[in-house]
Amino acid sequence: MRSIKGVSEIIAVILMILIVTTIGFGVFLYSLGYFSNITSAYMESSKVDSDAVRENFVITDVLFTVSAGNTNVRVAIYNYGQTNLRIAALYINGTALGSLVESSIPPYGSGFVTGVLDREISAGEPQLVRVVSKLGNYFENYYFLG
Amino acid sequence: MSTGSTRKKGVSTVVGMTIFVLIFALVASYSFVWTSELNKYVENVRVDMREEQLRAHEVLVVTPINETAISVQNPTSEVVVVTQIWSGHDLLWTGQRGVPPFSSVTFPSFDRSKTDGSFRVVTLRGNIFSGSYADMMERIQKRTWTVSWYWNTTSQENEGIPPTQLNQSTLIGTSYFYDLRIDWEWTDDAAVISNYYYNSTNVIGFIARAVLVKTTDATQDATIRFLIDGNSLVNFQINGSYPAWVGESFNDKWIDSTKDVYIVIPGDKYSVHEVTVFFKTVGYEGPVYLRLNIANAAFYP
């Protein structure tokens, strides 16, 4: 009886060590993966936030050309930020323009964004033009036809 | 039993401690990464705020010299870098040119076909300043008397010709009187007297126009009183018609210095009136002058 009791104690200890080690290692690996994912997501989010902070642009000119029921819009943009500027959308009075032709504008460079509004705008009526970047920044102001 | 229990406790402590240390080390190392990223973000925000501060301090005064050239003045104590110049929807110039503090820089000779007299200057920091030649001329012409000078021979320009026909004489040029109260004089030895416009066989004169606003209510009229020299003649129009003179009626006749008369301009407070002054003189010895006093009115702003 004594020798059987001794063997089962050793086995129990070994089993306990194995179970604890396995669970502990599992927890460690899970934590490693979790923190790794969290960190990479955080770094990505932080980079986007940093780029968004460093992104600055201004509209330098807006040209409206009315033709056949449509209004072609050409917006000149100057990028005075520290990152490449990519335009995501162009709005006239809250309406997103179709056929948006965008380009990447380097820091301290300028470029044009063109789009088509599916109606004619009238002279003398102020148009609220909003340019939205891929990083979520926007610049808006009122412009006239002509 | 007690020996075995002690051994088990020791093993679990070591294993548990090892796992705890590993996870703690993991969290600690990642927290360094997070802190570093946060620091980068905060630094970027600080840089952006500093840039915005500098941007907010930028001021440029854009003054068109003519329809194809501008002067850009920097009244601040920081250098401002100009990077684009627009006129209408055309980009006239692009590059980088610094405007030193308290100085000005001229951008001459843009393509005339691309300019419309208004200019927008874009700075490196993203500010836009503008100036318009048309606005400038309009500003100059407002709050002034716009004076057109004419000359003719005495044989063609006799007293029978009404004042409004003075502009059928030869136009010498245009100038401005900047004071509402005209106090204009040619002395005996004024340079103009010696030139060929001003002599005994010629008539020289001007038509001065200004837009005035009445500063008193309808119970109190605006008035115009004048003094001229003995060789000169004068008349006025208010809103394109000859005015109601107090003392005598003249209509389209020239008035000489012997008449003691004045004009009244009735109207509500802030009513707007265009006043035209006709003045001519024949070249004789002695000073030539026109002194005009306008009460209860000001230049239309």
Lowest-confidence region among B34-38, B112-116, B137-141: B137-141
Is a pLDDT exceeding 90 seen at residue A133?
yes
Is a pLDDT exceeding 90 seen at residue B84?
yes
pLDDT band at B226 (very low <50, low <70, confident <90, very high): very high
A73 and A32 share one domain: no
Q: What is the pLDDT of residue B1?
A: 44
**How many domains, chain A?**
2
A80 and A134 share one domain: yes
C-alpha A18/C-alpha B21 separation (Å) is 19
C-alpha A114/C-alpha A109 separation (Å) is 17
Contacts with B, A 53-82, CB within 8 Å: 53-54, 56-58, 60-61, 63, 74, 76, 78, 80
CB contact under 8 A, A54 and B44: yes
pLDDT band at A2 (very low <50, low <70, confident <90, very high): low
A18 min Cα distance to partner chain B (Å): 10
The C-alpha angle B129, B134, B140, rounded to 5 degrees, equals: 100
Nearest CA in chain A to B129: A60
A73 and A42 share one domain: no
User: Residue A139 maps to which CATH number?
Assistant: 2.60.40.10
List the single residue in B15, B40, B126 with the smallest CB-CB distance to A80: B126
Among A110, A107, A113, A106, smallest CA distance to A131 is for A113
List the single residue in B19, B34, B86 with the smallest CB-CB distance to A39: B34
CB contact under 8 A, B26 and A57: no
Superfamily of structural domain B58-132: Immunoglobulins (2.60.40.10)
Q: What is the pLDDT of residues B51-72, one digit of tens each?
A: 999 999 999 999 888 778 899 9
C-alpha A109/C-alpha B58 separation (Å) is 19
Q: Are B157 and B280 in contact (CB under 8 A)?
A: yes
A132 and A60 share one domain: yes
The domain of A62 spans 56-143
A125 min Cα distance to partner chain B (Å): 18
**Of 3.50.50.60, 1.10.10.10, 1.10.3720.10, 2.60.120.1560, which CATH number belongs to B142-299?**
2.60.120.1560
A48 and A65 share one domain: no
Averaged pLDDT of chain A: 87
CB contact under 8 A, A108 and B124: yes
The ipTM of this complex is 0.79
CB contact under 8 A, A20 and B16: yes
Q: What is the pLDDT of residue B2?
A: 45
Q: What is the pLDDT of residues B261-285, one digit of tens each?
A: 888 999 888 899 999 999 988 765 6
More confident residue, A46 or B191: A46
Contacts with B, A 24-43, CB within 8 Å: 24-25, 27-28, 31-32, 35, 38-39, 42-43
Is a pLDDT exceeding 90 seen at residue A61?
yes
Lowest-confidence region among A63-72, B149-158, B176-185, B209-218: B149-158
C-alpha B176/C-alpha B148 separation (Å) is 9
Q: What is the pLDDT of residue B245?
A: 82
Q: Which residues contact B90 (CB under 8 A, 6 or more apart)?
A: B114, B115
